[in-house]
A and B are shown apart, each in its own frame.
Chain A
Amino acid sequence: MDYNLIVPFIPNLRRYARALVGDREGADDLVQDTLERAVRKFHLWRPGDLRAWLFSIMHNVFVNQLKARKSGVQVEIDENALAAPIPTANSVDVLDLQAALMKLPMEQREVVLLVALEDMSYADVSRSLGIPIGTVMSRLSRGRERLRGYMAGEVTRTGPLRVIQ
């Protein structure tokens, strides 16, 4: 298999990782580890949905990273790393959204992001995360519900995440 087949998916992997991990450095490290693992596992890929295969690798790498950190599912947000331009014209800023996402359990965050950002079918999410479709649906609805709650003002921003305008 050719690495050139993977390259077109890098932007998608990065976008998802950014939303999943929360900071640019950590997200790109996740992408990098994912790509390296994908290259090592090329021979295991059977022609089929390459995107789902790549996201399943990212999921595994992500889970392993969290285990290695032994910090549970809580990922610290480094405010300085959040250098992404903040669209101030919007009613919510990216820190609000990121903070809300980070409060979601990792399992729900993954499903919400794969459906909302990647526009994945339940079947693809199920394949990417290695969980049954029923689980995909229940995590999605719970995750969306929570996210809505946080964005509606239930977010309690603390510590370094507070942005004073």
Chain B
Amino acid sequence: MTEEEDRVEYAEQNAMLHRFFDSVMTEPIPARMYMKRPAWIDYARAALLVGGGIALGLAMPWLRPEPTVISVSAPPLPIRAARAHLVYSPEVRHPVEVDAKDKDHLVKWLSKRLGMPLKVPVLSNEGFELLGGRLLPGADGPVAQFMYQDTTGKRLTLYVSPPHAGERVTAFRFAQDNGVSVFYWIDKDLDYALSGEVDKPTLARVASSVYRQIEP
């Protein structure tokens, strides 16, 4: 048989096979063949990954991820101070817990709670008189807030907090939060923040007075 005859013969063979079997192509596909990936494969794969991870962690401790520490760190000092200012300075009837007329008691009480002798600066020269003060929950515990008011009713608050872990000694800093201006500084024993909805030069002037009176 020649190659040409072979070719013709094989083409016929192909045609015959197609004739008989091509109808299978158009038969409806049995539903079972439209399978979803069996769920056990996913489970098995997940188990394998988890198991592998555990095994790897046991075998190679240095590959273990650092324990996830959810950051619950308090907002920075000026933010804490500004928020306290926003909460209490608008108070008409109860701006303070202890009135300025019980100043001695106020200072004793707050010094005891903060575990530190507190000084309450006198800001009359700057136009602000002490209204009183209150105890607040701070980042790590009790915090003191003193409130001052000028003749127009404008109020300043001095936020005094035991040092919060992670906050380093700083010089005078300025910050703003929600319209509240804050001058703050952190010294060895206590953190201070003076907040008010006043212009920056005014606040700076008062803050430096506070600073001079507290630092001997």
Contact = CB atoms under 8 A, between A and B. Distances in A.
Given A3-B36, A10-B33, A11-B24, A92 B16 contact: yes
B26 to A, nearest CB: 7
Please report whether the interface of chain B is mostly helix, strand, loop or mixed according to DSSP: helix
Interface stretch (A33-41, A64-72, A73-81, A124-132): A33-41
A17 B135 CA distance: 85
A10 B30 CA distance: 10
Nearest to A144: B10
A40 B45 CA distance: 11
A10 B29 contact: yes
A11 B26 contact: yes
Interface string A107-118: 000001101110
A158 interface: no
Please report whether the interface of chain A is mostly helix, strand, loop or mixed according to DSSP: helix
A102 interface: no
Contacts of A90: 19
B17 A97 contact: yes
B93 interface: no
Contacts of B170: none
Given A35-B33, A97-B20, A116 B14 contact: yes
A127 B30 CA distance: 28
Interface residues of B, number: 26
A40 B42 CA distance: 11
B13 A116 contact: yes
Given A14-B25, A40-B41, A87 B20 contact: yes
Nearest to B10: A144
B34 A87 contact: no
A32 B38 contact: no
Nearest to B24: A15
Given A3-B36, A40-B41, A11 B21 contact: no
B41 A39 contact: yes
Given A10-B33, A32-B33, A35-B33, A94 B20 contact: yes
Interface of B: 9-10, 13-14, 16-27, 29-30, 32-38, 41
For the complex of A and B, list the 7 residue pairs with the smallest distance between their C-beta atoms, beginning with the closest.
Answer: A15-B24, A11-B25, A116-B14, A116-B17, A18-B24, A19-B21, A94-B20
